[in-house]
A and B are shown apart, each in its own frame.
Chain A
Amino acid sequence: MDTIFAQATAQGRAGVCVIRISGPQAFLIANTIASPLPAVRLAAVRAVRDAEGQILDRALVLSFEGPNSFTGEDTVELHLHGSIAVVRAVLRLLSGFDNARLAEPGEFTRRAMENGKLDLTQVEGLGDLIEAETEAQRKQALRVLSGHLGHKVDSWREKLVRAAALLEVTIDFADEDVPVDVSPEVNTLLTAVNSDILEEIAGTHSAERIRTGFEVAIIGRPNAGKSTLLNSLAGRDAAITSAVAGTTRDIIEVRMDLGGLPVTLLDTAGLREGADEVEAIGIDRAKIRAEQADLRVFLVDKYEELPVSVMPDDIILRPKADLLENPEGAISGVTGQGVKQLINRIQEVLSIRSLNAGLATHERHRVALQRSAEGLATAMLVLDHGPDQYDIASEELRHSIRALEALVGRIDVENLLDVIFSSFCLGK
């Protein structure tokens, strides 16, 4: 089996970057490049050297002997300095070893499962684990697989199976005493399921219906115009606005569709000291939600310190552009100045984050539902031609049921597995 390696921490510059190596050759490789390998489960600093003996970096080296590791295989972690150049050099060095290769997305998790380190409920529940690390779309895909949509699909499937059974009776017992016309009940069942599925398909597009969107928090001092901006972004009066500071006390959520991405905008209480008790609770909540959000839009004047830390990609804007002499880098919910640019910026940031195949799962569901609905539509058409074409009607129905079964993973198990795992980030 191949030994795999990948950067386990986020891409880009950082204080520390961890490269994980897992597989039968892990110890051998690590002992070659960071010799001598420290005893298992003991961390030690080692020089990482290339084939010529040049030092690439000094790393903290930690090894785990299988099966007592995340993947269940021999695993070595190199904690390098988080320089892009260092990481690149070490990855290149690792690629030079026979039987070692860069891990595919999700391959560490996959091996962990294959080695019984995670059971499937854990993997399915990994939605929670990923939550902190990847974007919201994936959470939804996984939640859907195990929960809500699964139950819905089951109930549809049950109805369709009933309809199919009615048709089959007229086919397989044609020679016997079953002269009753089954088409009214079949039609009722198909119509009901079809409309449910169509509604579900429509729902996948509608941002309001998607519970787990990207959360974008608008934060700033009281009366910075956060609610006005929210209303402007949402295109409606979702939040009460007034000239009185501290008008917004609880968190107001507006879900909307930004370029196909479900986004929940959070309007939070303005952050200030010495507010009354109710407002203070609002401020505490605002801080927590803002920190958990996928992205923050800060409405702050220059050099203003806020009790929420700024993270990479966060957007910082000056508030109330309409009142400023020099409105550069400022925004106004009143005049709409800069609003379009803000939307574009949010969209850009979130699109990049969602690129990592997370949407494939989502798309797979939609396609399966679509296929199922198409089968039903054709089946209903064919049904009108009477019992002579029940062979075709029942085939369409079967097709429709199979599409639903594929959705919950009864048919092509392997494919399902690939989809689940490809939605994990590289190196997880």
Chain B
Amino acid sequence: MKHFDVIVIGGGHAGAEAAHASARLGASTALITMSRDGIGVMSCNPAIGGLGKGHLVREIDAMDGVMGRVADKAGIQFRLLNRRKGPAVQGPRAQADRAIYRREMLSETEQRANLEIIEGEVTDFIVKKGSVAGAILSDGMEISAAAVVLTTGTFLRGVIHIGDRARSGGRMGDRASVDLANRIDSFDLPLGRLKTGTPPRLDGRTIDWEKLESQPGDAEPVLFSFLSEATSASQISCGITHTNEKTHDIIRNNLTRSAMYGGHIDGVGPRYCPSIEDKVVRFADKTSHQVFLEPEGADDHTIYPNGISTSLPEEVQLEYVRSMVGLERVEIIQPGYAIEYDYVDPRALDLTLSVRSVPGLFLAGQINGTTGYEEAAAQGLVAGLNAGLLAQGKESITFSRSESYIGVMIDDLTTRGVTEPYRMFTSRAEFRLSLRADNADQRLTPIAIALGVAGTKRIERFQAKMSKIDDAMAILTKDAYASKAIEAAGIKVSQDGSKRTGFELLAFPDVTFEHLININPELEIIEPEIRRQVERDALYAHYIVRQKRDIDLLRKDEAHIIPTEFDYNSIDGLSNELKSKLSISRPGNLSQAARIDGMTPSALTLLLSHLKRDSRKKSA
């Protein structure tokens, strides 16, 4: 029997990132996928990043993950969202060339040391004494491992709906993993059902681009990876069209034929990514919706019309897309469909994404009720690292809400579960001003270095950058200037007699690094990139100090660990409802408990006293 430290099942975004993370740790890793060609496939829209999501990609990159670098290579249109707003809410986003993305991800995966790709279908786990200890393939091959990361996305009992036609399948063209689903049933994990949709894919050669508004990328592209320097694929623009009254009429008249509305789907869909049927019904007073026409590649004539995902019958899809300006003669390459699938209630997982009741088994990606490549990849990173650490007999790693979006997401998932497919937003991060895309490396790369998962190039780059920032900070905080001197340099400040350092001045919204050079020419030597970084750090400095206090409070609550076996029924005075909620989500610490829906201050206080009493008993 073959043996690996870690087996990763599934080669999607979660699986690829998990396999790479585990391999970077030095754990021998097998990535089992139904097809080598499935590695790095973008099954939904061909874009990476965005608000919150871009933050995740930066964080994955800061941990020396693969997604950011591959996206930079595949990017055909880069836009920094919220460019005019503050740096904390800016998110890098890129349209990606599907083919390049897949090719680059496969090549990264093939080249990675300690990582072997195995093609095959996993039909069962090897289970020893209740722990998962390997996988069995459909051809009978058995592979043993110390830990298994399952990243099967929407494959669990996936059902595809196009209008009133339904068939089983993970995504278009793939089989659903029925056998594996049965095995997972035997673990008796809490399951739920979700749905998601895709729009029809259009043939770009049949679109009248002349009539359309076009949206170019940024003149100065902002890339994902801290290691990337320039784009490599040729850059393109997207087109914009709109739905109109006629489009809406067509949709309204055919609603009963939609899988979503015709009663064929029970799963819950995402509110923030509604189907066009949803939009027309729920926002009936809106007579037009924006549709982005996104090319799927520089050499690909497939167009992804972002904003009109649907489960209407094929002929209705054609009718309504053709009702839009520029699309009058358009041809559909592949109809839009809705997919319904099982997910595992992520409250069954701990902060390492390990299934609490099944040792050795980790879950990552859409199977945990999330949506999006970035969310999947970030979970893959966490699960892959922890699977590797488990195999190596080392201590696990968890991410805090106060240090990363990754931490926010995992905490949200494992504490609150999901009611719709979970997507990252910047507003989910209460410490948003500290957790910026621009400082992801400063937050996480030291952790990657300490874990031993950062490559040499990453370490060198990071250390060089940090030493430059330190140098700049030394100059900026060394001297404080009188208001007269400051004003002489062209900066308006109140003449209140107080002295300010260069760093303090940078916190003023209108002050740039260049102003400061007038005051202190020493600053001239600082590189532009470092100047911008220091400006961003300075802008929120006041708030970050304040948030630090909140973070300390959070850490204090996080330090109150709740044992996995903690018996909530033993707490008299706790309502039955809360007892059951707590028993389901099993918060790992007091801070998580506080975020459980319906939690009251009284209940928390009660919980805390019991924790303290128990820990005293132990130490006594």
Residue ranges of A at the interface with B (Cβ–Cβ < 8 Å): 1, 24, 110, 113-116, 119-122, 124, 145-146, 164, 168, 171-177, 387-392, 394-395, 398-399, 402, 408-417, 420
Contacts and interface: CB of A to CB of B under 8 A. Distances in A.
A387 B85 contact: yes
Nearest to A167: B427
Interface string B424-445: 0111001011000000000000
Interface string B272-291: 10000000000000000110
A391 B433 contact: yes
A121 B543 CA distance: 37
A414 B556 contact: yes
Nearest to A399: B546
Contacts of A146: 602
Interface centre among A114, A120, A122, A168 (most CB of B within 10 A): A120
27 contacts: A114-B610, A116-B573, A116-B610, A120-B573, A120-B603, A168-B426, A168-B427, A171-B89, A172-B427, A387-B84, A389-B86, A391-B86, A391-B89, A392-B543, A395-B543, A398-B430, A399-B546, A408-B601, A411-B553, A412-B556, A413-B557, A413-B590, A414-B556, A416-B601, A417-B605, A417-B608, A420-B605
Contacts, number: 116
Interface string B572-607: 110000000000000000100010000101111110
Contacts of A399: 546
Interface of B: 50-52, 81-82, 84-86, 88-89, 93, 272, 289-290, 425-427, 430, 432-433, 509, 543, 546, 550, 553, 556-557, 560, 571-573, 590, 594, 599, 601-606, 608-610, 612-613, 616, 620
Nearest to B288: A177
Contact of B425 (A120, A122, A168): A168
Contacts of A120: 573, 602-603, 605-606
A410 B594 contact: yes
Contacts of B590: 413
A113 B609 contact: yes
Contacts of A414: 556-557, 560, 608
A395 B601 contact: no
Given A171-B51, A171-B82, A391-B85, A413 B546 contact: no
Contact of A176 (B85, B290, B556, B605): B290
A389 B84 CA distance: 9
Contacts of B601: 145, 408-410, 413, 416
Contacts of A175: 50-51, 81, 93
A171 B609 contact: no
A408 B82 CA distance: 35
B428 to A, nearest CB: 9
Contacts of A124: 602
B609 A417 contact: yes
A174 B81 contact: yes
User: Which of B82, B430, B616, B620 has the most chain A CB within a 10 Å cutoff?
Assistant: B82
Contacts of A115: 613
Contacts of B86: 388-389, 391-392
Given A171-B426, A175-B50, A413-B608, A119 B85 contact: no
Nearest to B52: A172
Most chain B CB atoms below 10 A, which of A164, A399, A413, A415:
A413
A116 B571 contact: yes
A164 B427 CA distance: 9
A273 to B, nearest CB: 50
A171 B50 CA distance: 11
B51 A174 contact: yes
A285 to B, nearest CB: 36
Given A411-B557, A412-B553, A416-B601, 11 more contacts: A114-B613, A120-B605, A164-B427, A168-B426, A171-B426, A175-B51, A177-B289, A391-B88, A395-B543, A412-B556, A414-B560
B85 A411 contact: no
B405 to A, nearest CB: 13
The 3 closest A-B pairs by CB, nearest first: A119-B573, A409-B601, A391-B86
